Amino acid sequence: MARTTIKTDATRPHRRLWLPALACLTALGIASGSVADDTPEDPGRNFGFLPIEIFKLSWRNHSLLSGDFNSDGRQDVALVDNSHSRIDLLIQREERPSVEELPMLTGGDINRIDSHWRFEHRKLPVDRAIEAMAVGDFNGDGRADLACIGEPDRLLIYHQPEPGEERWTNRRELRLAEVNTTPWSIAAGDLNSDGRDDLAVLGKETTYLLYQGEEGRMKSPVEVRNTSERLSIAMIRDINGDGLNDLMYLARDVDKQKICARLQRRDGRLGPELRLDVEDPRGITVARINLDQPQALLAIDSSTGRLEVFRMKSDSDADDEIDLQPTHYGIGGRTSGSAGELATGDVDGDGRIDVVVTDPDAAQIIVFRQQGTEGLDSGQSYPSYLGAQQVRIADLDGDDRNEVIVLSEKERTVGISQWEDGRLSFPVTLDLEGTPEAIDVISESGSNGLPAGLLIVSKLSDYSVVSIQKTGDSWKPATIADDKTALTLSLDGSPESVQYRDLDGDGHAELFVTLERGREPQVFRFEDGKLTEIEHSGGVRLSGVSSKAIFRQDQAGKGLLVAQENFARQLRLDENGNWQVADQFGISGGNANIAGAGRLDLDGQPGDELALVDTRGSRLHVLREEDGLFRPWKQVELGSLRYSALHIADVNGDDRDELILLGSGQFLVIAAGQAGDRPQLELVTSYESPRKEPFLTDVVVGDLNNDGRPDVALTDVQKHAIELLDVAPDDTLRTALQFKVFESKSFSGSGEGGSQPREAIIADVTGDGLADLLLLAHDRLLLYPQDDGRQ
């Protein structure tokens, strides 16, 4: 039989009740707002609901969730009610109670609606405002518990009592600094594939991961650094169909919201942040809409109003097009404005290239260890100097293990750390004369050059250069010439950076010093036991060039690759000591500001590509050589990255260099030649409402017609309506049923009634094995029990 009727309760008079929002609940008239054709081709003929059931709550209720909250095997409902400092538990009754309180209708409450008998209202008191809530078993006892974010910085876990007990007295409280106090900033699920529910809590600087231990208690939080201060809507779902739960959320990037995912790896750890190709969703969820396919991402596009459905491509499904989308790694320090420095090298001695980043204001250094083909891990911080800025990685003592060298301007010192006992040690402070201002590494001693070691430019009364080597158990300046351990350096300003490299291709290195405030860099040669400046008599000038605009890793003898204004130049030092332009590279249009440049192979073909960082357009422009000229090939959006420096290194173990872009609060890794390697979303279907001017805001998934297949429900907060969609075997979305939740007054504007219904879930809360639709609107919970079609 056809199931298109939405029934009204015959035992209750049909009347319109004007609520405080001047709206009329159509529990008493929603049948007139339903749309479905009773034809064999119409999917709506298989949908139907029993009389609506209404429950009086509060205008401030939020976080509508379902779960078994009294261990009786039936699904109940939980909501936050901050107006009464409590959590409302609506416990499902098996049958109508024998004694019901009769409604008392007086002149003052003529519009009163008494709650249906379905739920017993239990109240869990709280002592602070609750901003977000999640359901899960957080102590391994098999019962549903509640985890909440309480203002301003508390994680509260309420454990369900033993069956038969009603008071939730077992509570754990944990302080989490700088958490996001917004709805849905907490999510529950198994994040390390051990069969136990864990928690993810979004913060401003970090995301907190709380893993449940074998003893049924949450372990100390693991902090993962965010790439944005504004994360929201956390979800734990298997987005890539590998059977492992992933962490998903929205990240604000400039003026756009990006859907992000951290995929769970086989070792149970979360990977780096992937930003998916979906922007500014008005509503999102991840669910299986086709039982023969993996879970899908359902997103309501804010620009078109359409519902779009995506699935993640597997490597075998990907095309051969090279994808240069970046992977994001958070490094903290976003709010301080102090940019640290990045270096690459094997820190832990496993033969793989790692990444270290200084966090000056937090007095720490962050080590991102390479995990082979999976790339870098999420980073671990270790204490270091306050104000640590410059950092290098090199084997200074010849023991085949690298040291990490840091310079702190604030503490006026240089220190050397080593990887010991599974961690990076605190730096050993060097005994230096004067204040160190710049460092570099001389990897090997030349026949007519400075000795190998740690090159330090310091200032006492004048500037000087020393090369530090290890002698016995101590670090000391090496002898440079004529028993001298320091050479005077005549600089025209404070040094910003120093490099020791061959700039003119004669086989001998020069000392290249960039100066602060954009002063012209200076070049020195080591000859006759002293450093002599190379005077410029002509050529191009480098005044105004920052050290960050100079590509440090260019091949020796090829000079410098320098970013300047709207182009980049390959410069070489001629025999007269003047800078000559060997080549120049630009992009079309004159509005770019090229702040960084680098060379590496990104397409897997012979020859390197040229990467240009445009900070004005916030883009990476990749140029590829064709017919002897570098022409535009790819563009990569960099979003809110405040560019600081460019590096190249093989950080995923594929024997090819990756491009690394450092910015404030994060760095990006763009892998070379990653055709088919990076997970991508593929649009599989979309849906546009046939109604006039809809404003869809939320999407939920469940079987609402008991045919064994998931259906989709959409909320329209402008027309205060619901659309039910049938999902065909080929993923096509078809309108099944539409109805209004309540009517605004005829003389009211289009915005009357507010953004309602504001929340929706699908769950069996009537105990008949059929999924029901629950809506939170104004100060009411509306339950639409699914009709089994037998009456």
Query: Is pLDDT above 50 for 748?
Result: no
Query: Is pLDDT above 80 for 521?
Result: yes
Query: Is pLDDT above 70 for 677?
Result: no
Contacts of residue 333, Cβ cutoff 8 Å, sequence gap at least 6: 339, 340, 359, 360, 361, 362, 664, 665
pLDDT for the residue 290: 95
What mean pLDDT do residues 174-186 have?
94
pLDDT for the residue 41: 64
| Dihedral Cα 17, 20, 24, 27, nearest 10 deg | -70
Residues 784 and 773: beta-carbon distance below 8 Å: yes
- Could you give the CA distance from residue 229 to residue 206 in angstroms, rounded to a whole number? 8
pLDDT for the residue 153: 95
Question: pLDDT tens digit string along 47-86?
Answer: 999 999 999 999 999 999 999 999 999 999 999 999 999 9
Q: Which two tokens stand for residue 336?
A: 């301080």
pLDDT for the residue 673: 67
Q: Which of 91-100, 350-359, 701-710 is predicted with the least confidence, judged by mean pLDDT?
A: 91-100
Residues 709 and 731: beta-carbon distance below 8 Å: no
| Dihedral Cα 18, 22, 23, 25, nearest 10 deg | -30
Residues 216 and 229: beta-carbon distance below 8 Å: no
Confidence of residue 9 (pLDDT cuts 50, 70, 90): very low
Q: Which two tokens stand for residue 396?
A: 């200074």
CA atoms within 13 A on the CB side of 116: 24
Residue with tokens 């570098």, as numbered in its chain? 630
As a residue count, the chain comes to 791
Residues 624 and 599: beta-carbon distance below 8 Å: no
- Could you give the CA distance from residue 532 to residue 490 in angstroms, rounded to a whole number? 9
pLDDT for the residue 46: 83
Confidence of residue 334 (pLDDT cuts 50, 70, 90): low
Question: pLDDT tens digit string along 485-505?
Answer: 999 999 999 999 999 999 988
Q: Pick the residue with more confidence: 111 or 533? A: 533
Question: pLDDT tens digit string along 559-573?
Answer: 899 999 899 999 999
* Widest distance between CA atoms in the chain: 108
Q: Pick the residue with more confidence: 254 or 461? A: 461
* 3 state SS for 729-757: CCCCEEEEEEEECEEECCCCCCCCCCCCC
**Peptide bond connecting 690 to the previous residue in cis, omega within 30 degrees of 0:** no
Domains of the chain: 326-676 (2.130.10.10)
Q: Which two tokens stand for residue 721?
A: 């309506």
Confidence of residue 706 (pLDDT cuts 50, 70, 90): very high
Cα 763 vs. chain centroid, distance in angstroms?
Answer: 30
pLDDT for the residue 591: 86
Query: Is pLDDT above 60 for 299?
Result: yes
pLDDT for the residue 27: 38
- Could you give the CA distance from residue 344 to residue 391 in angstroms, rounded to a whole number? 10
Q: Average pLDDT over the chain, rounded to whole? A: 88
Question: pLDDT tens digit string along 628-665?
Answer: 899 999 999 998 899 999 999 999 999 999 999 999 88
Contacts of residue 176, Cβ cutoff 8 Å, sequence gap at least 6: 153, 154, 155, 201, 203, 208, 221
pLDDT for the residue 109: 59
Question: pLDDT tens digit string along 25-49?
Answer: 343 334 334 545 444 467 777 899 9
Residues 379 and 364: beta-carbon distance below 8 Å: no
Cα 632 vs. chain centroid, distance in angstroms?
Answer: 29
pLDDT for the residue 102: 52
pLDDT for the residue 466: 96
Query: Is pLDDT above 80 for 241?
Result: yes
Question: pLDDT tens digit string along 689-705?
Answer: 999 999 999 999 999 99
- Could you give the CA distance from residue 645 to residue 342 in angstroms, rounded to a whole number? 8
Question: pLDDT tens digit string along 123-154?
Answer: 999 999 999 999 999 999 999 999 999 999 99
What mean pLDDT do residues 359-372 have?
94
pLDDT for the residue 556: 60
Q: Which two tokens stand for residue 295?
A: 């879970």
Question: pLDDT tens digit string along 598-634?
Answer: 999 999 888 999 999 999 999 999 999 998 899 999 9
Q: Which of 5-19, 30-44, 713-727 is predicted with the least confidence, judged by mean pLDDT?
A: 5-19
- What type of residue is 446? G
pLDDT for the residue 672: 79
Query: Is pLDDT above 70 for 791?
Result: no
Question: pLDDT tens digit string along 524-561?
Answer: 999 888 999 998 878 898 988 888 899 977 666 678 99
Confidence of residue 15 (pLDDT cuts 50, 70, 90): very low
What mean pLDDT do residues 103-120 have?
70
Question: What residues are paired with 67 via a beta bridge?
Answer: 76
Q: Pick the residue with more confidence: 240 or 333? A: 240
Residues 706 and 394: beta-carbon distance below 8 Å: no
Confidence of residue 100 (pLDDT cuts 50, 70, 90): low
